[in-house]
Structure 1
Amino acid sequence: MAGRSRALVLGCLALLVAGSLPVSGALVAGAPTADDRVTRGDGPQLTHLGGDSGGLAVQANNTTRQHDNPANISEAGDLLGVRDWLSNRMLQGLSTGAIQLDQGQYEQAQSVLGDEFGARLDQYVDVVGETDTETDDDNADPFERTRDAQRNLTETVQSYDETYEAYQDAVEADDEAAARERARRLQRLATDVRRLNRTVIGGYQRLENQSGADLGRATTSVENVTENVTERQREVDEALFTGTALALSSDSATISYSDPLRASGQLTTDAGEPVADREIRVRIAGRDRTVRTDGDGQFQLTFRPRTVRIDRSSLTVRYVPANESPYLASNDSVAVDIEQVTATLSVEEASEQAAFGDQVEATARLALDGQPVRGIPLRATIGSARLGSSVTAETGTASTSGTLPATVPAGNRSLTVSAGGPNMAVTADPVSRPISVRSTGTNLTVAAEQSPGDTLAVEGTLTTTDSRPVGEQPVEVAVGEAVTETVRTGADGSYALAVDGSQLGVTGNATVTVRARFDGADTNLDNASAATRFTYRNRTALGTGTGDGSSPLPSNVFPGEGPISSVALGGLAALLVLFVVLLVLRRRYADGGGSSTDAASGDDPDDATGVGPTAAADASAAEPADEISAADGLDFGPAESFLAAGNTAAAVRYAYQHFRGHVAEDVGAPESDTHWEFFERCRANGMDSDQLNVIRDLVEAYEAVEFRPGPADPDADALLAAIDAKWA
């Protein structure tokens, strides 16, 4: 059972901490070790951890008590001590890793943030879940986010160093083409380093505010690394490339889908020479376009907004040089006032009936003034359940398909198709069709057994009558007449519960009935119930438990009954800590429970056109990998609910985690990958440049809300639309 396993982990952890704390004056021999120095100071004190390697100073503000007898610590105080010990160990790891990064010791810098750090983080999550301090609940997040960002920074700096060596080799060999190609990669890596620097420093600031630690040396180390990369990149750019200037002007600031932006641009060098008579790549609203300059470096650009937010007051156009180009990038912005247009949406076909797990399909068409509108995301919903999405094609049509969840109640419902979003340049009134939702029969199982000691383990499964698992549903479990708990099924339909035998009120051996019940109210699933009986043996009452039943230890080990060695006394203290922790934990695990489990714009590339022929896709981009597709099963309904509630950060977090979960297997991204490592795997596995642009925007938005201090307001509406457009 997960509850008993976690209790064992915390108990062992408490033993580890207790084992490092002397319990009497006779046992104290000299100054405390680095791992022991978790202090509670009477005034501001600095306690250094890990000798000189980590450079971490922790400020303590409570009562000075270098060592405590674990048997005398209160339950809450003991857990807070364990929490602080784990916090200090992780802070030390971050600080040491930053210093090793500054010294170019990349493997060591990654190692200190590896498995051991992850184990400490898992233990920390368990411990803060048991404390009564409300602020503890979110304290683990900054550790995990900062660790991930620092790991990714370390990997990126290492990649920069390796690429820089390859660049120098190409320069020495007078291979200008290879040198330029590697210099372009250095530019991208340097940009990533600067961004990750901000993320890591922001994480340090959060951890300092949370823990009182001084991460100044770690901050200095990270700043040194970033400054070194920035300076080297400046030298590379000056040696190989010519700076450019981009200037834009538009006929009118007021634009819409019906009245697109028409802008004139000119690209020149920093010296004023035109970049003439060539195809160049420009990026607007997150999408790449190809235009052609004339003899004066001038070009024309047309942009028709579709999924751009209407509250944007400007659009940035960026010149993106090809890898082999001798020029550096540049950008300029144009002021805009985006007017929203309302198109007409009509449903051409739709499912008329469905049951749990069935595919619900709909085909709709979007038009404006009788003309089809392409590139707009459509969504199908029943109530709050999102059933699928797609993007309108050249004909203005799109087909959606999704699995009917259990949360849609049986009966006559409405299948609604919506287009765009409330803040997008193109929107439409939703259209509904009637649909009959049938109920589905269910089966429920329950089993119970007594584990060693007095803990009762209850488990079972909830499935349909044709054996399909039913996840994320509540199951009420009653053990005897004294215990009733509600747990939720996991994705595989299973549930589990750990019950402390002392709650049953049984004084000896007794037959206990365990009942499980699923209430299908407000779902499309029928009710189900199950019961089982087993013989419960109260080992404590029968004398087979802990001594006389009043103590977890035999009475003859207490002081006063004979000489006690320091080893015995230390063991006594450790066992008492374990007993105290387990007493606290059992309250939690009685609850038990099964497992529960864009970019700036999605505007179509063809909407921005230049004078002259349209160039082919970026030659440096890999061919699309047809097998990499996240369309099946993508459901951004919760993200849209967060947006509707005004919680942009939660919407972005859900979108990133949900999308990553659907493509991780295709690109070979393990759970341990950071967000930027995930992006690099997508790049390495052959996603096309448009898909990579969307993923980059998603990753940047996720990084903004997760790691950067201060408020973040990414364009989540456009982000979801862009994902829909590329993976629908």
Structure 2
Amino acid sequence: MFRSQSWAVFVTLTILGLTAGAGGVAAMGTDDGGPALNRQVETPTDDNETQQENPDSVSDGEYGDETAAWLARTMGGRLENSSIALSNDQYDQARSVLGDDYDKRLEQYVDVAGDTSSATDDTAAREFEAARENQRNLTNEVQRYRQQYTAYQAARERGNESKARITARAMERTASNISDRSRELNRNFERIENTTSVDLSSGQTEINETTENITTTQAVIREETLVGTTLTVQAIDSTASFSDPGTVSGQIRTENGSVIADEVVELRIGNRTQTVRTDASGVFESQYRPRSARLGSQSVPVKYVPDTDSVYLSDDTTFTIDVKQVTPNATSDIAPGTVGYGDRFDATASVTVESRGVDGVPVEFTVGDTVVARTTTGPNGTATASTRAPASVNDGERVVVARVPYENRAIAGVQSETPVVVVETQTTLSVSASRTDDGALARGQLQTVAGDPVAGRPVRLQVGAGGTQLVETNRNGSFQTVLEYPQNNETVTVTATYDEPSSNLGNATATTTLAAGAGGGNPPVGSDSDRDLLIDTLVAILFGSDENPEVAFGNGIIGYSWLPVLGGGVALAVVVGAWFIVSRRRQSQDVNATSSVEATEVSMSGPDQATTPSNATSPTFADRVDTYLDGGDYDAAAMVAYTAVHDELAVKNGIDEGATHWELLQQSQEHGVPEERMADIETVVEAFETAAFAPTSVDPSRAEAAVERARKIKSNGDQ
């Protein structure tokens, strides 16, 4: 800790010397190599010489405004460089300039935006974040289209018309995604230009030219390989319910007016897929049996989904029908009937209407006010879930409720209750404390008497006779926080208490002695606090601190007492120069932490799983999602993506096979999955929940995103 801080101080002092010799002008270069990003930020000046003031006391936000402007120009330059690289088919470069460095600048911009005098900076921050995601997605889609185009040409040259049609259909979807991403990105750029001084016109030009080129190419491919269709559908019956479905009739014609006769075709009616046969006139009939549709007159979407190697393009339309409600019968059961904290139990539910199972409806299992599992009914109307008893349920005689959480839907909301006995689980608590410059650093852990960590529970801390502070345990049951306490020579007691009335966990208390000392010290070497102290100090120097008017750097060498003689530009140079040291230290610690997590995961995977290549991608998964996406069955694609991720995480992280989608997310976080990967998993889980539970289909872009994240998780295989 002392060595890294001393080096940071040395570099910072060196930068101070250089910037002071430059007459108060800090040259702010960036590391992306783009000439447009080599900007300079001058030290703010005004008639009242307010640059001599502590940033905490500057009310007009001039330093924040200057910093925000520089960060905006930096990120804007990176967005434009990414667009230029994309237009030159330099996909890795297009992605890399929007990588970790862009993320750091965005994080800094978000922090600064909260302190500036301009309310538009908050809006700009959101647009910079959205632009990054849309630019990344656009890059991926354009690269995919170019690869598909190469495969299409190869298939045509070999005379493989079936493969050419399959690829052309996939290109239709990719080209549509590119158009959508391009429109969204242009809106991001326009909003950034409207809220900042950044000019992104050249980036917009590059994006529009790339999109237009692909649109033109796809029009040629569509003309030479595929045939457009027109779908018409009307309701024969005026009403529809689950017990009395409505009949619909329709016809499919080609763009030249001929009918698709005597063929088995696939239709997507509402959020369900059906297979029907057309007659000699191309006419078909089908039934609409609603489940999640809202009551009353509803416009129901219908889509013609051709086979992946079909010459025909898809088409969609709607019909209108009056949806009526049916109340199903629900029964449930659990085993075992007695559980304690963390104990696994199996819950089942059956949802039927007149002895017919209601498939594809959501079921929630709750204990008290806590939802412990979510799932959907299968073909026979049965839902099953394996879950663990949470800490948030009080001990005693309780009930597990299985419910269909519908309101004003074709299937009425119902529930079934099953009794369960929740027993109390005793806990143990540990605590240690040491003095710091800011007060007392308290650490500890909450466990069951069996040694299992207890996560997400509140622990109350108190130093001497002072006030109390609540801290929540992390996934390992641990906690760490700095408690405010005056520095003096007294020896005091630090008390940690877990006492949660509405819980099945027993109370626990632990104490430790905080030895007498004349002054504070640094946190123990090797803790996360040493890094956080360095980072917080750097940020405080630039942005100010609401808590500490004079934050010590290292061993008290640099504090705000230096800041009155420094301008805002010099302060920014201090952070930019010292950020390198902090980032290198953070990266080193993150690598070590990741290695530790990976080693743990390998040891948990078992001998059979350890022999499976971690980056193996199942062809079956790729084929299935491509088929569903090509056919516009976005719900099915999202569900397949979720299944693939669930299976991958179950193997790699030891996640329970029976975990529901939200349990999968929670257990992954408890397993220490990195935040970036957690965001990927969450994207897949949210798309799955919409596909499985919502009355309408998942949005195409969300299904695409879920599939993309699933591909990444499966290909990396590192979680």
Fold agreement, TM-score > 0.5: yes
Q: Which residue of 1 aligns with 2:459?
A: 475
Provide the rounded CA distance (Å) in 2 between the counterparts of 1:17 and 1:197: 45
Q: Does 1:305 align with 2:290?
A: yes
> Equivalences for 1:446-595 in 2 at 5 Å?
446-450=431-435, 456-482=440-466, 484-499=468-483, 503-507=484-488, 509-539=489-519
- Mark the CA change 1:295 to 1:197 in structure 2 (over 3 Å): closer, same or farther: same
> Equivalences for 1:318-337 in 2 at 5 Å?
318-337=303-322
Are the counterparts in 2 of residues 470 and 491 from structure 1 also a CA contact under 8 Å? Answer: yes
Provide the rounded CA distance (Å) in 2 between the counterparts of 1:673 and 1:551: 34
> Equivalences for 1:664-683 in 2 at 5 Å?
671=676
Q: Which residue of 2 aligns with 1:260?
A: 245
Are the counterparts in 2 of residues 480 and 504 from structure 1 also a CA contact under 8 Å? Answer: no
Pairwise CA distance, 1:460: 0.7
> Equivalences for 1:395-406 in 2 at 5 Å?
395-406=380-391
Provide the rounded CA distance (Å) in 2 between the counterparts of 1:555 and 1:517: 34
Are the counterparts in 2 of residues 349 and 363 from structure 1 also a CA contact under 8 Å? Answer: yes
Provide the rounded CA distance (Å) in 1 between the counterparts of 2:245 and 2:432: 65
Structure 2, unmatched stretches of 5+, are: 522-548, 560-564, 579-635, 651-655, 706-719
* 1:314 partner amino acid: S
Pairwise CA distance, 1:505: 2.6
Q: What secondary structure is seen at the aligned counterpart in 2 of 1:497?
A: strand
- Mark the CA change 1:576 to 1:51 in structure 2 (over 3 Å): closer, same or farther: closer
Q: Which residue of 1 aligns with 2:152?
A: 167
Output one character per residue of 1:513-545: Cα deviation in whole Å (capped at 9) or x when no partner: 22111122222222211111133533479xxxx
Q: Which residue of 2 aligns with 1:608?
A: none
- Mark the CA change 1:635 to 1:190 in structure 2 (over 3 Å): closer, same or farther: closer
- Mark the CA change 1:349 to 1:520 in structure 2 (over 3 Å): closer, same or farther: closer
Structure 1 residue corresponding to 2:417, chosen from 405, 408, 432: 432
- Mark the CA change 1:454 to 1:141 in structure 2 (over 3 Å): closer, same or farther: same
Pairwise CA distance, 1:324: 1.7
Are the counterparts in 1 of residues 364 and 375 from structure 2 also a CA contact under 8 Å? Answer: yes
Q: Which residue of 1 aligns with 2:402?
A: 417
Provide the rounded CA distance (Å) in 1 between the counterparts of 2:344 and 2:152: 53
* 1:161 partner amino acid: R
Structure 2 residue corresponding to 1:27, chosen from 23, 29, 40: 23
Output one character per residue of 1:433-469: Cα deviation in whole Å (capped at 9) or x when no partner: 3433322211111112245x56642211111111111
Q: What secondary structure is seen at the aligned counterpart in 1 of 2:456?
A: coil
- Mark the CA change 1:33 to 1:20 in structure 2 (over 3 Å): closer, same or farther: farther
Provide the rounded CA distance (Å) in 1 between the counterparts of 2:470 and 2:642: 51
* 2:208 partner amino acid: E
Are the counterparts in 2 of residues 152 and 676 from structure 1 also a CA contact under 8 Å? Answer: no
Structure 2 residue corresponding to 1:116, chosen from 101, 105, 122: 101
471-480 vs 118-127, greater mean Cα deviation: 118-127
**TM-score normalised by L of structure 1:** 0.68
Q: Does 1:230 align with 2:215?
A: yes
Are the counterparts in 2 of residues 56 and 217 from structure 1 also a CA contact under 8 Å? Answer: no
* 2:94 partner amino acid: A
Q: Does 1:181 align with 2:166?
A: yes
Count of residue correspondences? 594
Q: Does 1:105 align with 2:90?
A: yes
Provide the rounded CA distance (Å) in 1 between the counterparts of 2:462 and 2:149: 65
Q: What secondary structure is seen at the aligned counterpart in 2 of 1:407?
A: coil
Output one character per residue of 1:21-70: Cα deviation in whole Å (capped at 9) or x when no partner: 9558x7257xx75659xxxxxxxxxxxx9986479999x9x9879x9857
Provide the rounded CA distance (Å) in 2 between the counterparts of 1:73 and 1:297: 75
Provide the rounded CA distance (Å) in 1 between the counterparts of 2:697 and 2:668: 14
Provide the rounded CA distance (Å) in 1 between the counterparts of 2:400 and 2:163: 56
- Mark the CA change 1:412 to 1:673 in structure 2 (over 3 Å): closer, same or farther: closer
Are the counterparts in 1 of residues 439 and 487 from structure 2 also a CA contact under 8 Å? Answer: no
Provide the rounded CA distance (Å) in 1 between the counterparts of 2:290 and 2:159: 46
Q: Which residue of 2 aligns with 1:632?
A: 658
Output one character per residue of 1:96-132: Cα deviation in whole Å (capped at 9) or x when no partner: 2223323433222111101211233344456667889
Structure 2 residue corresponding to 1:379, chosen from 364, 381, 384: 364
Q: What secondary structure is seen at the aligned counterpart in 1 of 2:462?
A: strand
Provide the rounded CA distance (Å) in 2 between the counterparts of 1:196 and 1:572: 37
Provide the rounded CA distance (Å) in 2 between the counterparts of 1:138 and 1:521: 43
Structure 1 residue corresponding to 2:186, chosen from 201, 204, 210: 201
Output the aligned Cα RMSD: 5.3
Provide the rounded CA distance (Å) in 2 between the counterparts of 1:57 and 1:627: 51
Output one character per residue of 1:561-613: Cα deviation in whole Å (capped at 9) or x when no partner: xxxxxxx98999659978xx9xxxxxxxxxxxxxxxxxxxxxxxxxxxxxxxx
- Mark the CA change 1:305 to 1:227 in structure 2 (over 3 Å): closer, same or farther: same
Are the counterparts in 2 of residues 387 and 401 from structure 1 also a CA contact under 8 Å? Answer: no
* 1:504 partner amino acid: Y
Structure 1 residue corresponding to 2:235, chosen from 222, 235, 250: 250
Q: What secondary structure is seen at the aligned counterpart in 2 of 1:177?
A: helix
Provide the rounded CA distance (Å) in 2 between the counterparts of 1:406 and 1:659: 18
Provide the rounded CA distance (Å) in 1 between the counterparts of 2:221 and 2:324: 44
- Mark the CA change 1:178 to 1:362 in structure 2 (over 3 Å): closer, same or farther: closer
Provide the rounded CA distance (Å) in 2 between the counterparts of 1:300 and 1:557: 80
- Mark the CA change 1:461 to 1:378 in structure 2 (over 3 Å): closer, same or farther: same
**Which has more helix, going by share of residues?**
2
Pairwise CA distance, 1:174: 3.5
Pairwise CA distance, 1:426: 0.9
Provide the rounded CA distance (Å) in 2 between the counterparts of 1:361 and 1:675: 28
* 2:23 partner amino acid: L
Q: Which residue of 2 aligns with 1:607?
A: none
* 2:447 partner amino acid: T
* 1:150 partner amino acid: Q
Output one character per residue of 1:157-201: Cα deviation in whole Å (capped at 9) or x when no partner: 011112212322333444323322221221121122123223333
Pairwise CA distance, 1:488: 0.9
Provide the rounded CA distance (Å) in 2 between the counterparts of 1:56 and 1:537: 49
Provide the rounded CA distance (Å) in 2 between the counterparts of 1:326 and 1:230: 20
Q: Does 1:151 align with 2:136?
A: yes
Structure 1, unmatched stretches of 5+, are: 37-48, 542-548, 559-567, 582-616, 637-657, 705-728
**TM-score normalised by L of structure 2:** 0.69
Are the counterparts in 2 of residues 274 and 296 from structure 1 also a CA contact under 8 Å? Answer: yes
421-430 vs 270-279, greater mean Cα deviation: 421-430
Provide the rounded CA distance (Å) in 2 between the counterparts of 1:539 and 1:238: 80
Q: Which residue of 1 aligns with 2:602?
A: none
Are the counterparts in 2 of residues 245 and 330 from structure 1 also a CA contact under 8 Å? Answer: yes
Are the counterparts in 1 of residues 442 and 480 from structure 2 also a CA contact under 8 Å? Answer: yes
- Mark the CA change 1:624 to 1:431 in structure 2 (over 3 Å): closer, same or farther: closer
Are the counterparts in 1 of residues 227 and 313 from structure 2 also a CA contact under 8 Å? Answer: yes
Provide the rounded CA distance (Å) in 1 between the counterparts of 2:372 and 2:556: 64
Are the counterparts in 2 of residues 347 and 362 from structure 1 also a CA contact under 8 Å? Answer: yes
Q: What secondary structure is seen at the aligned counterpart in 1 of 2:332?
A: strand
> Equivalences for 1:28-67 in 2 at 5 Å?
33=27, 35=29, 53=36
* 1:476 partner amino acid: R
- Mark the CA change 1:129 to 1:304 in structure 2 (over 3 Å): closer, same or farther: same
* 2:368 partner amino acid: G
- Mark the CA change 1:188 to 1:555 in structure 2 (over 3 Å): closer, same or farther: closer
- Mark the CA change 1:241 to 1:8 in structure 2 (over 3 Å): closer, same or farther: farther
